[in-house]
Structure 1
Amino acid sequence: MRFALLGAGRIGKLHARLLSETEGVSELLVADVERERAVEAARAVGATACDSVKTAIDRAEAIVIAAATDAHAELIRAGADRGVPVFCEKPIALDLGESQRVVDHAQQKGIPLQIGFQRRFDPAYREARRLVETGELGTVYAARLAGHDPAPPHEAYIPASGGIFVDFGIHDFDVIRWLLADEVEEVYADGDVRGFPIFDRYNDVDTAVAAMHMKGGTLVVASWARHDPLGYDIRTELFGSRDSVSVGLGPKTPMRSVEPGVPPPAGPAWQNFLVRFEDAYRAELAEFARVARGEVESPCTGRDGVEALRTALAATRSRKEHRPVRVEEIA
């Protein structure tokens, strides 16, 4: 099948390489609003650079969207209008209503839509989900989620990101739904600017926390930070009546124990999300190729994207209003 990759920035370049290695991708087209970036990404993997995004869409049999967030909704609609399967990196849009309208449009056109939450394809996350599904963890009492970026994004990114919960926390809001096969009922969130005053200029924070109550009763706590001097730290801990497990705890975790006699992690620490989750991205795109061929249903639907965003917006409101917010308030 002929795949079109729309967007040739940092993650777009990774996707270009992974798609060029994916079974079933017979031809790869690359397009970007800055054509030079498309040419560079295409040349690196032996793909074809298109003169415009429209040209790539018109020629595509399946579309992968890795463009800027504010272009996602328009590009999904364009793919749906062409009647071809679409994969789009999160989020669908920054606005819940617009996100739902885009999902409805894709459904009306009858196309498969897969949203890019790559943690669902990481081997450790998948094992944690299996342990929950099989009952090997028993009753899941509580979960802890942690996300620390190695360095803050550049200033121009901040006002277009949707804020720390929509840009960063949304991965955790999705993965906890998926791990527990449950929905977030209520969230209380807070945050502050601890090291980078530039975030305050855009009414955002560089450090945040949230406490969530799942509908099934599990209690969840989460923390995020835009700076970790040791590397990229993404962890999930599940505490059950039969077992307790951790995702992201290993020789490359950028954290050390101060217990006597415990050696530091062997390292090197994960430096960014592209390195930490490359295998997950590879598996995610391979699954989308199967979706595009009609072999399987989308493993991460438009509705999944909408619900993760709904929780992120509930957390955003909670921080601003300094109160617990029921997710159903966000409509």
Structure 2
Amino acid sequence: MTSALTVGLAGVGRIGASHAETLKHLPGVDTVIVADADPERAHAAATELGARAVPDLDALFAAPLDGLIIATATDSHPELITRAVDAGIPVFCEKPVAADIQGTLDVITHLENSTVPVQIGFQRRFDAGYRAARAAIASGSLGWLHTLRATTLDPAPPPAEYIGRSGGLFRDCGVHDFDIIRWVTGHEVVEVYATGANRGAQFFADAGDVDTATVSLRLDDDTLATVSLGRYNGAGYDVRLEALGSRGNAIVGLDDRAPLTSVEPGYAPSGFPAYPGFMERFRRAYTDELAAFVSVAAGELDNPCSPADALEAFYIAEACELSRHEHRRVAVDEVRR
């Protein structure tokens, strides 16, 4: 990298503060400037992390930025992405691009004639296990794939106020599984069947959401996949992917901290604590993701996850929501625009 960059960070909530901490230690980053809807929170984060705080987003855009990281509420993403791109500032934005398909399409249309990169945050693409699974599939060592089993189970639900604005279990949580299935296989999902249930807090049903779901997917090469999603996995944070082929398999997330309990006689549990949440499970992946963005912003690396990639995962989530409501198989093409 030829020169150190000045990176702006919009939003210093949980994920934003973690990104600020990561940026502080990344080679190639000289200065981090932060802004937040709460100026006092921005100032506190900047003081703790050795960054520079500015009072609002206008002041952030007035700074000479080489890149912008967006970790604000979803409804602000489209405006911040397009504003940065129009100013020639490379962007990293946490998923989603927008709250719905039309908003995502509007952003993509806005970017059509721009060469400014916009990287969307799907951190599993940078996890060593998922990368190894992708390499194994691409090498042919597994033979032909017949089954994929993906799991994302939270140990406890988010706050009620989050659920109401999250977009629902498929768009908020399952979208990570949908993206990674596309990425590790190199194939598209063409059909879904999704069902969900509520046995936990009433606020899920009040928001029109579910706290547990199972999805069946068919890929364009007839590989079948299942995705299990849940908010009440008391044993711990459980994120895995099983890729099963005609000659072998590759399992992601099956380590000493996987919250699995065997009841087979003679089985000795690992003794290691389960991951408490996504930040701990994917800490290294988040670091590598931001390191990639720094290289993208410096013009040294092609964009590893574009808004178009995010849209494809969003289409699958949208098809799942339609399937759940109408109790039928849904072709992903039904929700494309």
TM, length-normalised to structure 2: 0.96
C-alpha distance in 2 between matches for 1:213 and 1:195: 29
**Once the 2 structures are TM-superposed, how far is the Cα of residue 267 of structure 1 from its aligned partner?**
1.3
> Is 1:2 the equivalent of 2:22?
no
Q: Counterpart in 2 of 1:290? A: 295
Secondary structure of 1:313's match? helix
C-alpha distance in 1 between matches for 2:191 and 2:314: 14
**Once the 2 structures are TM-superposed, how far is the Cα of residue 71 of structure 1 from its aligned partner?**
1.1
> Is 1:135 the equivalent of 2:140?
yes
**Once the 2 structures are TM-superposed, how far is the Cα of residue 104 of structure 1 from its aligned partner?**
2.3
* Equivalent runs, 1:62-211 vs 2, <5 Å: 62-211=67-216
Q: Counterpart in 1 of 2:324? A: 319
**Once the 2 structures are TM-superposed, how far is the Cα of residue 178 of structure 1 from its aligned partner?**
0.1
Q: Pick the aligned partner of 1:35 from 32, 36, 39.
A: 39
Question: Residue by residue, what CA displacement relative to the aligned partner does 1:48-71 show, whole Å, maximum 9, x if unpaired?
Answer: 011101211231220001111111
Question: Residue by residue, what CA displacement relative to the aligned partner does 1:68-97 show, whole Å, maximum 9, x if unpaired?
Answer: 111111111111111110000011112112
**Once the 2 structures are TM-superposed, how far is the Cα of residue 40 of structure 1 from its aligned partner?**
1.9
C-alpha distance in 2 between matches for 1:265 and 1:206: 29
Task: Write out the 4+ residue segments of structure 1 that deviate beyond 6 Å after TM superposition.
Answer: none
Q: Pick the aligned partner of 2:219 from 208, 214, 238.
A: 214
C-alpha distance in 2 between matches for 1:321 and 1:265: 43
Q: Is the 8 A contact 1:106 1:112 kept in 2?
A: no
Q: Pick the aligned partner of 2:245 from 232, 240, 247.
A: 240
Q: Counterpart in 1 of 2:274? A: 269
Q: Pick the aligned partner of 1:249 from 251, 254, 270.
A: 254
Question: Residue by residue, what CA displacement relative to the aligned partner does 1:98-138 show, whole Å, maximum 9, x if unpaired?
Answer: 10111221232321010100000000110000001111111
Q: Pick the aligned partner of 2:58 from 47, 54, 68.
A: 54
C-alpha distance in 1 between matches for 2:56 and 2:90: 19
C-alpha distance in 2 between matches for 1:47 and 1:301: 28
Secondary structure of 2:142's match? coil
Give the aligned residue type for 1:102.
V
C-alpha distance in 1 between matches for 2:108 and 2:52: 29
* Equivalent runs, 1:19-34 vs 2, <5 Å: 19-34=23-38
**Once the 2 structures are TM-superposed, how far is the Cα of residue 216 of structure 1 from its aligned partner?**
1.3
Q: Counterpart in 2 of 1:13? A: 17
Gaps of 5+ in 1: none
Gaps of 5+ in 2: none
**Once the 2 structures are TM-superposed, how far is the Cα of residue 266 of structure 1 from its aligned partner?**
2.5
Give the aligned residue type for 1:290.
S
Q: CA RMSD in A?
A: 0.9
Which deviates the most, 90-99 or 207-216?
90-99
Give the aligned residue type for 1:261.
G
C-alpha distance in 2 between matches for 1:306 and 1:30: 28
Q: Is the 8 A contact 2:9 2:20 kept in 1?
A: yes
C-alpha distance in 1 between matches for 2:321 and 2:99: 12
C-alpha distance in 2 between matches for 1:54 and 1:139: 52
Give the aligned residue type for 1:180.
T
Q: Is the 8 A contact 2:136 2:250 kept in 1?
A: no
Q: Counterpart in 2 of 1:258? A: 263
**Once the 2 structures are TM-superposed, how far is the Cα of residue 260 of structure 1 from its aligned partner?**
1.0
TM, length-normalised to structure 1: 0.98
Question: Residue by residue, what CA displacement relative to the aligned partner does 1:197-229 show, whole Å, maximum 9, x if unpaired?
Answer: 210001101001100000011100011001121
Secondary structure of 2:113's match? helix
Secondary structure of 1:108's match? coil
Q: Is the 8 A contact 1:80 1:105 kept in 2?
A: no
